[in-house]
Amino acid sequence: MQKIKKSERFVWIDIMLTLLAIEVMQYFYYGIRVVVLSGVCAFVSFVAEIVSLNLVNRDFTADDLTCISDALIISLMLPAVIDFRIVAIACVFAVIVVKNIFGGRDNMIFSPSAAAYIFMLVSWKNQVLMFTEPHVRTGISEKAENLVSSASHVFNTSGRMNYSDFEILMGNMRGAGGAVSILLLIVSAVILILRRDISFGAFLGTIFGTAFLAYCIPVCRSKYDSVKYMLVSNMILFAAVYIISDKRIAPRKNYYAFFYGFFIAMFSYILLLKTEKENIIIIVSVFFTPVSLAFRNFEKNIEFSETEGV
């Protein structure tokens, strides 16, 4: 048991390190406001976690620090110029409503960050989906001007991506800070998979599902471009690493996790084609958590029947 707890803490440290690396990259593009935004998220989540645990008469332990990684994930899905009060409300929502009301970190039903993102999308759509151009630095108390739609929105509506491969890799395109840092996300994915911090099956299922459908039902003239742009837009890669492959939610065995990821990719791709809504994979991932729970129950039943058989 102690070993499991220890490994959980190492998972958290690894995830935090990769998230902090993306934060540094975002600081390079958007300035100090990104850092303050993440700080606000982390602080509010931390306080909300302590208060909500206190209300249910539980002690705050090192394992509860996962609220900070969830907070950083939330901040990386948002534009740097978003109102701090909105993210504060979203973080409180993620910790109290999504996480602790359902039993806390041992009984996770939804990804707190994904659910908080949907909450923000429903309540403050314009603020969540409007961004500044990269390298436009906004002061902490300044109000941003000349906001534009993300590269994903342009791609969904026109089928075009007006960025070079190098710009895409470096994250030098319009969109949510964390979601567009493609090179860093790839490196993070490799590190987290090799260190077994995320579910490899779910990650592979999501990427394979998206690529497969983008190849079979291309959104551009070229199938190669369709696959390439689909993987780097609409937070696909970010969601595949930090939300769908979250070991707290994804099925434990890679075989089932693969299909879990594959189904999410398939449905989000179909919905994307139908609705042209950006980042729809986050919404689908939340709606697919019952599938993950079903897979987990299925795994338990198989394990139980195997031990009974022995």
Asked if 54 interacts with other proteins (CB under 8 A), we say: no
Residue 51 or 89: the one with the smaller Cβ distance to other proteins is: 89
C-alpha to C-alpha distances, 37 to 87, 90, 114, nearest whole angstrom:
8, 12, 17
- Minimal CA–CA distance to 95: which of 64, 62, 121? 64
Asked if 110 interacts with other proteins (CB under 8 A), we say: no
Reported residue count of the chain is 310
Residue 124 or 155: the one with the smaller Cβ distance to other proteins is: 124
Q: Indicate which single residue of 86, 186, 270, 291 sits in contact with other proteins (rule: CB under 8 A).
A: 86
- Phi, psi dihedrals of residue 148, rounded to the nearest 5°: -130, 165
Contact between 136 and 172 under an 8 Å Cβ cutoff? The reply is no
Asked if 55 interacts with other proteins (CB under 8 A), we say: yes
Where does residue 122 fall: left (phi above 0), alpha (psi -120 to 50 degrees), or beta otherwise? alpha
User: CA angle, corner 113, sides to 108 and 118, nearest 5?
Assistant: 110
Residue 74 or 170: the one with the smaller Cβ distance to other proteins is: 74
Residue 63 or 83: the one with the smaller Cβ distance to other proteins is: 83
Residue 127 or 234: the one with the smaller Cβ distance to other proteins is: 127
Asked if 63 interacts with other proteins (CB under 8 A), we say: no
- In the region spanning residues 114 to 133, those forming contacts with other proteins, defined by CB under 8 A, are 119, 122-124
Instruction: Find the shortest distance in angstroms from Cβ 72 to other proteins.
Output: 22
Asked if 97 interacts with other proteins (CB under 8 A), we say: yes
Q: Indicate which single residue of 35, 50, 89, 186 sits in contact with other proteins (rule: CB under 8 A).
A: 89
194 vs 29: CA distance, rounded Å: 29
246 vs 257: CA distance, rounded Å: 10
Instruction: Find the shortest distance in angstroms from Cβ 9 to other proteins.
Output: 30
Contact between 131 and 147 under an 8 Å Cβ cutoff? The reply is yes
Binding site for other proteins (CB under 8 A): 55, 83, 85-86, 89, 96-97, 101, 119, 122-124
